[in-house]
Structure 1
Amino acid sequence: MTSANRSPAVQAPWWHDAVIYQVYPRSFADADGDGVGDLPGITSRLDHLAALGVDAVWLSPFYRSPQRDAGYDVSDYRDVDPVFGTLEDADALLTRARELGLRVVVDLVPNHTSSDHPWFGAALAAGPGSRERARYVFRDGRGPRGEQPPNNWRSVFGGSAWTRVVEPDGRPGQWYLHLFDSSQPDLDWTDPEVADEFDAVLRFWLDRGVDGFRVDVAHGMVKAEGLPDWDHEQALLQGSTPSGERPPMWDQEGVHDIYRRWRQVLDSYPGDRMMVAEAWVAPQERLTRYLRGDEMHQAFNFDHLKARWGARELREVVDSTLAAHAVVGAPATWVLSNHDVLRHTSRFGYPPERMPAGGVGPDDPQPDADLGLRRARAATLLMLALPGGAYLYQGEELGLPDHTTLPDEVRQDPQFARTGGADVGRDGCRVPIPWSGTAPSYGFGPAPAAWLPQPPSWAELSVAAQEGREGSTLELYRGALRLRRELRLGLGGVRWLGPREDVLEFANGSTTVVANLSGESVDLPAGEVLLASAPLVGGRLPVDATAWIAAG
């Protein structure tokens, strides 16, 4: 099939084919030596991202927060948490990014606030039926004394999605909904004050010069009327049941009204401001409803992220993605890793049928590091050759694996705590990245240790160790991003070639892409090999490798 992407002759908005690099602020660079990354640290390392060749930076939350869920529990959306710096530091970061030609996208967390947010404190103090409680999802409990939760919903982090409060008079009272941690009460988006507040938050950051927003839990802000029970396992990505029922807490129709309103706000500003949805929605046809012309601009492609290492499955994901996006005229996006999932360098180190669904701990079967890196490099070249936009997660340009042997006593993810350790959580993919192999905390900052310990093997994966070294993963990414821009692959299309069993082969413009997922090396078509994820052997592409070839 051929994608319906825009012709290169047409000037596309910057985000249409942008490569956007996710920075997890507490783990990127530490300027003040407290062991936690910060905004001045990020600013000091923006040259690395400009040299890498990305188009934009996406910053995970840096807002004022008690940090019970690494900043996704926001207590003030218009300020910077002191652990990360100040508003002036945010302005300095935006200024330096513009000087380097980098755009900046910031995280927005609209499904819930922190329980430390002034609104929630006012709701607890005001009592049932108050104007203040209308901003959140408070309900009376079931049972003769209201001692049972209002429904049977479960938190994504484990346990009940409801917590009972003590009323101002000291008696047990209503329950509030939290689809995540109990410190993250869900907002009620039927309340007009909530909608007005977030309009103002959008404008606050747009006025400071940000280029867009990544919207956290974009499919979760509206709940089904009446909050009916849901007798199925709770998960972020949850499509319809076999009988056609949709989860009452995810992907409700009302979310689209919110994004139409936000789109009007963004469109009132110059410079192609954009939104990208973290919407764990299936199938693709449901996801692309978020990308209709007056809603979101992009949505993360979690089908691609979750795909196992196999030619048939990957081709099906590419085909279904391009077909679904063509219907709404939106560019596809591609992503392999982020701050919530096992890094793809580690995922691909397992047999496809045993690829872990969550984090990996020291007592779990460990990935094959060499196999994982080889496949990760091949998957990256395959991804960057596809039309549309792409997202990179900090450290993947170094080939970083997850830290799969973190001891329990250092873990900080609420998933680990709320499940009693049954789910090791996401800390393994959030370990601070190494900049040099000899400096304290591998150059992450002047302190001798980082907020999460780094494995000794990361010394040889540091930026300093890979800089200028032929064949390194860092130089592979730099070469791929440079060629992707020169060849305008993000504005091209896909025309499948072959077929050869367990080999993905397609043309994008004048470039032929071959990914070998078979069990033996394969011949390459005629033409100049522009880039390969692994050295050729006797002119043939080895197993678990991808090559870009200029058509002969």
Structure 2
Amino acid sequence: MPLTGARPVPPALTEDPLWWRSAVIYQVYVRSFADSDGDGTGDLRGVRSRLGYLKELGVDALWFNPWYPSPLADGGYDVADYRDIHPAFGTLEDAEQLIAEALELGIRTIIDVVPNHISDQHPWFQAALEAGPGSPERERFWFRPGRGEHGEEPPNEWVSEFKGVPWTRTTNPDGTPGDWYLHLFTPEQPDLNWNHPDVRREHEDILRFWFDRGVAGVRIDSAAQVMKHPDLPDYPEQAGPGEHPHIDRDEVHEVYRAWRRIADEYDGTRVLVGEVWLPDAERFAAYLRPDEMHTAFNFDFMSRAWDASELRASIDLMLAAHAPVGAPSTWVLSNHDVTRAVTRYGREDSSFAFAKKRFDTPTDLELGSRRARAAALLTAALPGSLYLYQGDELGLPEVELPRDVLEDPMHFRSGGVDPGRDGCRVPLPWRGSSAPFGFSPDRTPEGEASAQPWLPQPDAWAALSVQAQEADPSSMLWLYRQALRIRKREAALGDGALVWLDTAPDVLAFRRGDDVVSITNLGAEPIDLPDHESILLSSTPLAGGLLPTDSTVWLRTRS
């Protein structure tokens, strides 16, 4: 039966209070990880069946994208009920069993919380629509009359995160046009009013609900956007720090201080991880003060081009931003929103920005894979925690999908110009020579043929399946397994200091601890290695003792 109250704290949750500072955290996009029942959609029982794989990989925690009931207008980030599981993914009992079974293997669970908005199918919003203008039910959201003679224009000039107008007009019960409601993302995601006590109390209760079930932390979606200026003014010509009407307002920190107090009530460190996209390093660091979040995603590194000066500047920027608050940085190469590293690093412009995504952008996958291998070791050697998006350990490329299978609202809101984010969400290949590559069983429990995966897998993925790579010591999977094993073994890796070494401008070399050195060659020619006792790991074979271009090596040196 599902849990009805708090259970005793498993010892695995309390063994290491600083686990989060060096953790390797694997991002699970449930819909595309493993399908247990043959319906073409990944589910929690599928994840449970692959926990041994994740243990062998060497991860410390799993971060799950939203697994709640949702119409899936935006991949589950339109949440209809925070205290249950989407029926396609399983049940609340499945989630509780998954959390417990993972903990038995020493793997913690982090879940996604989406405080900025909910689904338009959530009971709160349905009640607000039914109650009508001026009702208490509408005060939990941002309903406003429109501008213009008949209220036909949106209440302000704000712009949606998915482009276009972030306002939708309602219809009154008598059929006449009504007020508008705010949605910074899709119309199916109405923004919550965080000035309302119900909103704050509800989310605090949601935290307790999941912490009571053994969850070790929450990842906070769009964390800097939840507070709005109460007057919803137009954008100012020049907004000073904290003056933007809906991004990074000073009062947002009150929310996360309250959340931190709740997290600290529990035995074992329950972490708060923020999705914070801010260009100002000082404003970014403010979210990581000792009484707020534990860590935040570092998006700067994965937005940079494959260039030594760019990557070093990003590393220095993020380490400097975190230093004043004593928080560890996080490092990530890809996630469910971003073009996969293998494809990105094979392009002429290897940086990432949403605004420049286009169909038919050429890429050299051999070059991209080589650079992604080097980047994997580079990031795994940096101070702090490491996030690994499912499939990156297999070197999966971005898939350019047929337009008629795309679901991502980012594609449709761009007028069809942006291919969207579905290309990095294609279901994983586990085994075999043809689709679905073991993602689904051969047959459903009823004996019928399994459905096709919800997004099609390329035929070329046969060579990238887990089964194929486990048999190949030169594969990306072997590289990741070795890297994470060494990272866990070597006390110098993970949290701690980094010391840059003098090198050529197109080489990144730094020391971790007394005797571990990481060197990445981004130049055009192979380079000599410094004196060393042994090679711990190399992303590519050395050539006559030289480190080839687009390669990283870890060395044991004489301390």
Alignment check: 8 A CA contact 2:17 2:268 kept: no
Question: Could you tell me which residue of structure 1 aligns to residue 265 of structure 2?
Answer: 268
Q: 1:301 aligns with which of 295, 298, 301?
A: 298
1:49 aligns with 2:54: yes
1:396 aligns with 2:400: no
RMSD: 1.6
Alignment check: 8 A CA contact 1:437 1:458 kept: no
Give the secondary structure class of the aligned counterpart of 1:275.
strand
1:492 aligns with 2:496: yes
1:481 aligns with 2:484: yes
Q: Render the CA deviation track for 1:22-63: whole Å, top value 9, x for unaligned.
A: 000000000111101011111111111110001000010110
**What TM-score do you get using the length of structure 2 for normalisation?**
0.93
> 2: distance between equivalents of 1:455 and 1:465?
15
Give the secondary structure class of the aligned counterpart of 1:146.
coil
Shift of the 426–150 alpha-carbon distance from structure 1 to 2, 3 Å rule, reads same
Residue pairs, 1:304-319, within 5 angstroms: 304-319=301-316
> 1: distance between equivalents of 2:58 and 2:134?
54
1:128 aligns with 2:133: yes
**What TM-score do you get using the length of structure 1 for normalisation?**
0.94
Give the secondary structure class of the aligned counterpart of 1:312.
helix
Which letter maps to 2:457? Q
Alignment check: 8 A CA contact 1:437 1:460 kept: no
Alignment check: 8 A CA contact 2:302 2:351 kept: no
Question: Could you tell me which residue of structure 2 aligns to residue 251 of structure 1?
Answer: 248
Residue pairs, 1:160-179, within 5 angstroms: 160-179=165-184
Q: Render the CA deviation track for 1:158-217: whole Å, top value 9, x for unaligned.
A: 221000001233221110000000000000000000000001111111111100000111
Aligned residues: 532
1:378 aligns with 2:384: no
> 1: distance between equivalents of 2:161 and 2:343?
23
1:501 aligns with 2:505: yes
Shift of the 358–545 alpha-carbon distance from structure 1 to 2, 3 Å rule, reads farther
User: Gaps (5+ residues) in structure 2?
Assistant: 1-15, 442-449
> 1: distance between equivalents of 2:92 and 2:409?
28
1:442 aligns with 2:440: no
Give the secondary structure class of the aligned counterpart of 1:291.
coil
User: Gaps (5+ residues) in structure 1?
Assistant: 1-10, 233-239
Give the secondary structure class of the aligned counterpart of 2:136.
coil
Q: Render the CA deviation track for 1:76-100: whole Å, top value 9, x for unaligned.
A: 0101110111011111111210111
Q: CA deviation at 1:448?
A: 5.3
Q: 2:78 aligns with which of 73, 80, 97?
A: 73
Q: CA deviation at 1:276?
A: 0.4
Alignment check: 8 A CA contact 1:310 1:502 kept: yes
Alignment check: 8 A CA contact 1:25 1:37 kept: yes
1:456 aligns with 2:452: no
Give the secondary structure class of the aligned counterpart of 1:208.
coil
Give the secondary structure class of the aligned counterpart of 1:196.
helix
1:431 aligns with 2:426: yes
> 1: distance between equivalents of 2:303 and 2:116?
24
Residue pairs, 1:89-488, within 5 angstroms: 89-230=94-235, 247-352=244-349, 357=354, 363-404=359-400, 406-438=401-433, 440-446=435-441, 447=450, 449-488=452-491
> 1: distance between equivalents of 2:227 and 2:171?
26
> 2: distance between equivalents of 1:376 and 1:30?
27
> 2: distance between equivalents of 1:400 and 1:201?
35
> 2: distance between equivalents of 1:29 and 1:353?
30
> 2: distance between equivalents of 1:229 and 1:395?
42
Alignment check: 8 A CA contact 1:310 1:352 kept: no
Alignment check: 8 A CA contact 1:435 1:442 kept: yes
Give the secondary structure class of the aligned counterpart of 1:180.
coil
> 2: distance between equivalents of 1:105 and 1:175?
35
Give the secondary structure class of the aligned counterpart of 1:58.
strand
